[in-house]
Amino acid sequence: MKNNILNTIATILLSITFANAHCQVPCGIYDDNARVQSMLEDAATVTKAVTMIIELAGKTDAQSGNQRVRWVSNKESHAQKIISTIADYFLTQRVKTDMADYTERLKRHHAVIVLAMKTKQNSTAGDANALTEAIEALAAYYPPAE
């Protein structure tokens, strides 16, 4: 019985992980630019988190330690949202092999994933800024709908 409960909990948690992605059926309801803007917002949060982590790094009081841990957690969460958006939305549904510039698009989307991963591994302003710039480079592919 205990294994059944654990399996049920695991199934629920795995379902929650995938719930963030837009549906993967051909519903035709896409707002690519909105997703780019959302990733830019996530990148701004990553940048703010890096700034705060650096600011709190030299402090040893309990409150600063608590805040530093929360900023690290927040940074990782937003970086992962960016990775998931690229992988689960753009690379599975919007970047297609029959596109004339497929290789270039693939490289640019991959660059965002790599930079998001780097911001999870490090707390440097350079990586955070590079992530924002890489996402901004994708905006040309996904202009706002008119």
Give me the residue spans of the domains in the chain. 31-141
Q: Which architecture does CATH list for 31-141?
A: Up-down Bundle (1.20)
Residues comprising the chain, all counted: 146
What CA–CA distance (Å, rounded) separates 128 from 48? 9
Which two three-digit tokens encode residue 49? 């988190």
Backbone angles phi, psi at 66, to 5 degrees: -60, -45
Residue 143, judged by CB atoms within 10 A of its CB (0-12, 13-18, 19+), counts as: exposed
- Nearest C-alpha neighbor of 134 from the set 102, 112, 117, 114: 112
- The predicted-structure confidence for 35-67, as pLDDT tens digits, reads as follows 999 999 999 999 999 999 999 999 999 999 999
Whether the per-residue pLDDT at 19 is higher than 50: the answer is no
pTM strictly above 0.85? no
What CA–CA distance (Å, rounded) separates 65 from 72? 11
- pLDDT at position 70 is 98
- Nearest C-alpha neighbor of 89 from the set 11, 13, 141: 141
What CA–CA distance (Å, rounded) separates 82 from 39? 6
- pLDDT at position 146 is 77
What CA–CA distance (Å, rounded) separates 20 from 17? 7
- The predicted-structure confidence for 87-145, as pLDDT tens digits, reads as follows 999 999 899 999 999 999 999 999 999 999 999 999 999 999 999 999 999 999 999 98
